[in-house]
Amino acid sequence: MTATITVAPTGPIATKADNPALPTQPEEIAAAVAEGYQAGAAVAHIHLRDEQDNPTADLGIARRTMDLIQESCPILIQLSTGVGLGVPFEEREALVELRPQMATLNPCSMSFGAGEFRNPPDAVRRLAGRMLELGVKPELEIYDTGHLDACSRLLEEGLLAEPLQFSIVLGVRGGMAATPQNLMTMVDRLPEGAAWQVIAIGRANLELTAIGLALGGNARAGLEDTLYLRKGELSPGSTPLVRRAVRLAHALDRPVANVHQAAAQLALN
Ligand code: KMH
Ligand code: ZN
């Protein structure tokens, strides 16, 4: 089966002081995405920053970033509705009104590093329902076993449409630790027919991305998930991480999905 690679060039927390190659402005993000597309990514997971490089859900910045990406390559755009820990849910959820092909849906509140990631149940239901109305495919971010159960309840309530698409997020402080055992447990528990990828944060990024691909999952690569190529060596952008995921997929005899194959695999409109 083909492997869909998502490029995630900018996250909610790291700054240029952590890695000077981190893209924060629309032009920088679009350039990183175009490079990632050339390297084999079919999906771009997008976080936005304001002029001061702080996380933002500003619709003008989001629109401009989407336009710049679409001018440069046909990659599928997935907006993060996680945005950043300090941004209110009401601002985050409005991003889906821009109708990206996909957007993330974080089903539960949790501790997140030193902060708090607020996803109140009613607000999550409202966002899931709106995404269904707009035809924006949710990528369900599950950081712990209970998050999978929360998604099953959304499905039962008719707020999600199958096939579901999951990211198994490992290594966030406040969620599951980045261990192969935790990944196996989550993969075992996924509903039949679900598409899934591994998001491996930090040091275990390489190993868990490889295990996910070996198990038949998709992969995510980029500076959002790890700033380093290996211990002590900052990655000079997301492209080397995308190339590494592509090499892993090829070594495992998983052809890398192009945009059309990825859209079919993820059941996008
Ligand atoms: N930053 C990752 C730990 C989102 O953007 O909505 C999870 C993530 C979620 O990518
Ligand atoms: Zn994200």
235 in ligand 1 pocket by Cβ < 6 Å?
A: no
**Dihedral sign for Cα atoms in the order 223, 225, 227, 230:** negative
224 in ligand 1 pocket by Cβ < 6 Å?
A: yes
- How far is the centre of ligand 1, averaged over its atoms, from the C-alpha of 79 (Å)? 10
Q: How many CB atoms lie within 10 A of CB 263?
A: 19
Inter-residue contact 86 to 61 (CB < 8 Å): no
Write out the two tokens for 15: 């700054």
11 in ligand 1 pocket by Cβ < 6 Å?
A: yes
The percent helix, strand, coil of the chain (3-state, each to 5) is: 40, 20, 40
* Confidence label for 217 from pLDDT (cuts 50, 70 and 90): very high
Q: How many CB atoms lie within 10 A of CB 191?
A: 14
* Confidence label for 134 from pLDDT (cuts 50, 70 and 90): very high
pLDDT of residue 187: 98
Give the predicted TM-score (pTM) of the model. Answer: 0.98
- How far is the centre of ligand 2, averaged over its atoms, from the C-alpha of 256 (Å)? 22
Convert the pLDDT of each residue in 35-61 to its tens digit. 999 999 999 999 999 999 999 999 999
- How far is the centre of ligand 2, averaged over its atoms, from the C-alpha of 78 (Å)? 9
pLDDT of residue 257: 98
Between CA 218 and CA 56 the distance in angstroms is 28
Between CA 227 and CA 18 the distance in angstroms is 8
| Count of domains observed in the chain | 1
Inter-residue contact 213 to 251 (CB < 8 Å): no
Inter-residue contact 198 to 170 (CB < 8 Å): yes
For 197, list phi and psi in degrees, rounded to 5.
-140, 165
* Confidence label for 269 from pLDDT (cuts 50, 70 and 90): confident
Average pLDDT over every residue of 158-168? 98
The rounded mean pLDDT for the chain is 98
- Structural domain including 250 reads 5-265
Average pLDDT over every residue of 74-102? 98
Average pLDDT over every residue of 202-215? 98
Write out the two tokens for 37: 């597309």
Buried b (16+ CB within 10 A) or exposed e, 219-239: bbbbbbbbbbeeeeebbebbb
107 in ligand 1 pocket by Cβ < 6 Å?
A: no
For ligand 1, atom 6, the nearest C-alpha belongs to 82
Convert the pLDDT of each residue in 230-239 to its tens digit. 999 999 999 9
Between CA 104 and CA 116 the distance in angstroms is 17
82 in ligand 1 pocket by Cβ < 6 Å?
A: yes
Would you list the DSSP string of 33-55?
A: HHHHHHHT--EEEE--B-TTS-B
Residue 147 Cα distances to 119, 126, 153, 186, angstroms: 11, 17, 10, 10
- How far is the centre of ligand 2, averaged over its atoms, from the C-alpha of 65 (Å)? 15
Q: How long a stretch of residues is the chain?
A: 269
- How far is the centre of ligand 2, averaged over its atoms, from the C-alpha of 126 (Å)? 20
Around 51, how many Cα atoms within 13 Å sit in the side-chain half-sphere? 1
Matching residue, tokens 């998983």: 254
Q: Kindly state the percentage of the chain with pLDDT values over 90.
A: 100
Convert the pLDDT of each residue in 219-228 to its tens digit. 999 999 999 9
Between CA 256 and CA 259 the distance in angstroms is 10
Residue 30 has pLDDT above 90, yes or no: yes
Q: What is the CATH number of the domain that holds 85?
A: 3.20.20.70
For ligand 1, atom 9, the nearest C-alpha belongs to 82
